[in-house]
Structure 1
Amino acid sequence: MTRRNSTPAAGGTLTPGQEALWLVQHLDPQGAAYNVTAALDLLFTVDATVLEQAAGAAVTGHALLGSLFAQGDDGRIRRTPAPTPFALERYEPGLAGEELRAFALRLSRRPFRPAHERPVRIALIRPRTGPDVLLATAHHIAADNISQLLLCREILSRYAALRAGRPYTARDTGAAFEDFAQVQRAYLASSRAERARAYWARELGGVTAHLQLPTDLPRPALWRQAGAEVRVDLPAGLVADLDAAAAERNVTAFALLLSVFAVLLHRASGQREFLVGYPVSQRQGARWRDAMGYFVNTLPLRARVDPGDSFEAVLRRTSLRLWQGLLHRDYPFALLAGLTGLPRDPSRPGPVQVLFVLNEPGGADPIAGALTPGAVVEHAGLRVAEFALPQQHGQFELTLQLTRHAAGFQAVLKYHTSLFTAGAAGALAEEYVRLLRAAVAGTLVPAASPAPA
């Protein structure tokens, strides 16, 4: 099979989502909130020269990863081929354990300059003891989390083929991202997009107040990307009860978990109505399943918790609005800001200040299994495991990310360090777990007195 997205197209135009990401990086050039990282322990003896050949072939074979993103004289942002060849970064820091992790984290958080360098870096880190680490970092403008898994998988496949002295057979990745961009441009000119815009205008037009979360620190006048995270594990028993409770109420686990998050925000802010963002994949169907690119859109949920509401009422309202929003999921988030009744505030990330993410295991990607804590997987005869690194901090004021694995859920609350302390973020995360237990047990009263945040 042949890959269909192997040749960069000169002068390629961007999607609205990519243009928004470019602008964010342009306005905050030292920010790294939109760096997307995949890191693996390589549980085999690594030939660095062969790995560089494999990584170079993988990177240069994808148009987006071999591109610069620059603004032309006419003000439009275009994609052009990068003039410099790919080079594997090699490090031997003489570190191990948490010092090694901190070193890798610093590497992953180096800002990208999309107009001057390709939007991807591949590094091989050789520690003092333990397995070598493969660190793949890309800017979100060219890759999403699935893209990073695809890239790591291809690097390993190419490495195994080179070591065995056999030709590498490229997967058919389907349509190229440029095809997706063309499809999106055609969509925006269609009546379907007009209907979607009308829906979002009705849904968002009545939102007139920003989410006013109590902060531990004075809000800076200008929003910058800066963040950290706290983690809480949800035991398998609670997850089983959650699934049963969602099925009994005829809603998805996603809707129930998001409804609890809305209750948490309502209690913290005292507000009845506010926006919560949630990401959706635009890889519908097999056409884009294995393509490299930015296939993510953020949808805004108009969350509402009225005085006297039962949790069942909040859940039904949330579930309905989720389904209605998903019917219009293709309308770009970058074009929604002007549809709200909110004034522009440079001290906030935009009309959506908080994000909710649920990562469910899915698909047959062998590398995805390596990102489960403690798991070891084999691909192309090579054994790899997760090298856990926090990432994508500072995009929003708060991001609650739940990831399901065999032992339960891991809850990660990402918080903006200019607004919240680690102690306050930890208290919010623990309160979310407490509220979730109550919701599953059927005892949650949404409008109860707020717990200290």
Structure 2
Amino acid sequence: MRTTDPTADPTTAERLGVLAGLFAEVLGLDDADDLGPDDDFFDEGGNSLLATRLINAIRTRFRIDLPLKALFRAPTVAGLLALIDAAPSSRPPVARQERGGLFPTSFAQRRLWVVEQFEATGGLYNMPIALRLRGALDRDALTVALHDVVVRHEVLRTVYVDVDGVPWQRILDPEDTRLTVNHVTTAAESLPFLLSEASRHVFDLATELPIACWLFELGPEEHVLLVALHHIAVDDVSLRPLFQDVSTAYTARIEGREPEFADLPVQYADYAVWQRELLGETTDPDSLGAVQTAYWRSALAGLPDELALPYDRPRPAVPTFRGDRALLTVDADLHAALTRLAQNEGVSLFMVVHAALATLFARLGAGPDLVVGAPVAGRTDAALDDLVGFFVNTLVLRVDASGQPDLRTLLDRVRSADLDAFAHQDLPFDRLVEALNPRRSLARHPLFQVMLTVLAEDGFLHVPGLSSTEEDVDLSFSRYDMWVGLSESKTADGACAGMSGEIRYSTDVFDASTMRDLADRFIATLRDFVTDLSQRVVPAAAPRTPAGVRRRAVPQPVLPTS
């Protein structure tokens, strides 16, 4: 599909070749020659997460500070090279620090540590992953492999000590670290309860590793491995390198040898030091932290305290964090149609889903000022790509749905808002809350009450003699009023195989019937986007009852663009 002659200039030709190689590596192509200079990154299978990895790789290779929006403006090798040539010099890379003594926490870690000191969270910030393993499992090799990975990633053998009310990281030496895998023999009918109970394990962050493991034996060749991780040490993106390393270690151990891991140039503690240096002093108006704070003050000026969602009852003064879920299923045909729409409109799949959720909220009477939270990987240096750690930051995404825009216009507004937010992702969420100082309430999450995630499915264990599938774990928690999450599945040849997910919601304020109805309407709204982008976003009125609870709004009929 080559349609552009690179140029006779050997320097430009070489740079095109380097950039094509980065495209191919991130996209998983075997040969960069398969990618022409005018081939579109997103047409070739790129998504938001891969886009972030590509931009990080470009920043590292070309020593420039290139924003994510550049890839959306110019998603081809030839087009992006022109933006690379005009980009400013890069920010300093993450560098390895001298070992010994205590390390500062990252800003995100400090926020979680403070929460754990003052609230009985009861496992609220755990990340449990359960894998059903079928085949001949070597339990001893698996135990050693998991320990190998704890040794490899320092953050998995880090405890948090209190020094005058401030948390610090203390990295344990490998010889002082011991990971125990709890072996439990059980019947299939008892498994859901056991998984749920183990997933609520309460970590003592001052003395205990932030990882705990159970192996439930259902039969001679059927087991379920549960790995419970505290969020202070990992995020969703960490699961890919974590289980890749477990796979590498287990394969080596069943062959009777030490695992051969690729070197990690830095560790999480190095990132925590770098993050503070990168953001600079709050008193310096030219520091990155101050510049990004100024952006967010402007972008979020006049933000509503909360969305007018179809609550079934007033929120309690103190939330219980009890939750339930309504399942979401996007079939393969709709998944493929949404992906084609994203490619045709120059947006990511996440942006399409975000626009659909904003449309649904507007049609339910939530008003024209629509705000959701969204995680961003936070790995803005390629040296962090294969590292386990808590890098994720939370962005506040604000969309204007006023004026009854058609769906294409709303999608354009979402694209602009999201890309601007991604370009200012370095400011930690807790510092943003401190800077904006919104009206505080223990009853609701600050700045937003709805979280949105769209993840690309990454495989878990890939080892000889075993098949691995993810097992459902129901924690019955919800940190937000509503958390809308979807995960993509692809076939072996990269075709869309559907998306699955859930709306996890707070039972403090929502009934199950309300959420089942909202889940159905959300899928219907996604179908609206692939059916006719000329449909308008017509808001619904939502009167309040005397008790202050919103009645569910009746969506207005969809109108075509005049």
What corresponds to 1:389 in structure 2?
A: 473
> Is contact 2:126–2:199 with CA below 8 Å preserved after alignment?
yes
What corresponds to 2:510 in structure 1?
A: 420
What corresponds to 1:86 in structure 2?
A: 178
Given residue 168 of structure 1, which amino acid in structure 2 is its aligned partner? P
Shift of 1:30: 3.2
> Is contact 2:215–2:226 with CA below 8 Å preserved after alignment?
yes
Distance 1:164 1:241, change over 3 A: closer
Shift of 1:8: 7.4
Distance 1:8 1:106, change over 3 A: farther
Distance 1:8 1:412, change over 3 A: farther
Identity %: 26
Write the mapping of 1:49-448 to structure 2, written as runs, cut at 5 A.
Answer: 49-73=140-164, 75-81=165-171, 85-97=177-189, 99-127=190-218, 131-189=222-280, 191-340=287-436, 342-361=438-457, 368-370=458-460, 378-379=462-463, 382-390=466-474, 393-406=477-490, 407-442=497-532, 444-448=535-539
Distance 1:52 1:150, change over 3 A: same
SS at match of 1:428: helix
Q: Deviations over 1:163-211 (max 9, x none)?
A: 3222221222332111211221111106232221110111112214322
Given residue 278 of structure 1, which amino acid in structure 2 is its aligned partner? A
Between stretches 5-14 and 333-342, larger displacement belongs to: 5-14
> Is contact 1:239–1:408 with CA below 8 Å preserved after alignment?
yes
Distance 1:65 1:196, change over 3 A: same
> Is contact 2:322–2:478 with CA below 8 Å preserved after alignment?
yes
Q: Distance in 2 between matches of 1:201 and 1:313?
A: 25
Q: Deviations over 1:105-164 (max 9, x none)?
A: 221122323223221112211125761121111111111123234333323332332232
SS at match of 1:270: coil
Shift of 1:57: 2.8
Q: Distance in 1 between matches of 2:148 and 2:414?
A: 46
- Point out where structure 1 has 5 or more consecutive residues left out of the alignment: 362-367, 371-376
What corresponds to 1:374 in structure 2?
A: none
Question: Do structure 1's residue 45 and structure 2's residue 136 form an aligned pair?
Answer: yes
Q: Distance in 2 between matches of 1:403 and 1:280?
A: 15
Q: Deviations over 1:23-52 (max 9, x none)?
A: 222333233232112222222323333332
Identify which of structures 1 and 2 has the higher relative contact order when contacts are C-alpha pairs closer than 8 Å and 6+ apart. Answer: 1
Distance 1:345 1:154, change over 3 A: same
Between stretches 275-284 and 246-255, larger displacement belongs to: 246-255
Question: Do structure 1's residue 17 and structure 2's residue 113 form an aligned pair?
Answer: no
Could you tell me which of 109, 123, 126 is aligned with 1:35?
A: 126
SS at match of 1:92: strand
> Aligned Cα RMSD in Å?
2.6
SS at match of 2:505: strand
SS at match of 1:378: coil
How many matched pairs?
435
Shift of 1:430: 0.7
Q: Distance in 2 between matches of 1:150 and 1:5?
A: 20
**TM-score normalised by length of structure 2:** 0.72
Q: Distance in 2 between matches of 1:160 and 1:8?
A: 31
> Is contact 1:174–1:290 with CA below 8 Å preserved after alignment?
no
Q: Distance in 1 between matches of 2:339 and 2:530?
A: 9
Shift of 1:7: 10
- Point out where structure 2 has 5 or more consecutive residues left out of the alignment: 1-94, 281-285, 491-496, 541-552, 556-562
SS at match of 2:459: helix
Shift of 1:435: 1.3
> Is contact 1:231–1:412 with CA below 8 Å preserved after alignment?
yes
Given residue 402 of structure 2, which amino acid in structure 1 is its aligned partner? D
Q: Distance in 2 between matches of 1:294 and 1:106?
A: 24
Given residue 463 of structure 2, which amino acid in structure 1 is its aligned partner? H
Shift of 1:413: 0.8
SS at match of 2:260: coil
Q: Distance in 1 between matches of 2:519 and 2:196?
A: 23
Distance 1:387 1:425, change over 3 A: same
Q: Distance in 2 between matches of 1:20 and 1:297?
A: 12
Q: Distance in 2 between matches of 1:171 and 1:44?
A: 28
Q: Distance in 2 between matches of 1:60 and 1:106?
A: 27
Q: Distance in 2 between matches of 1:131 and 1:104?
A: 15
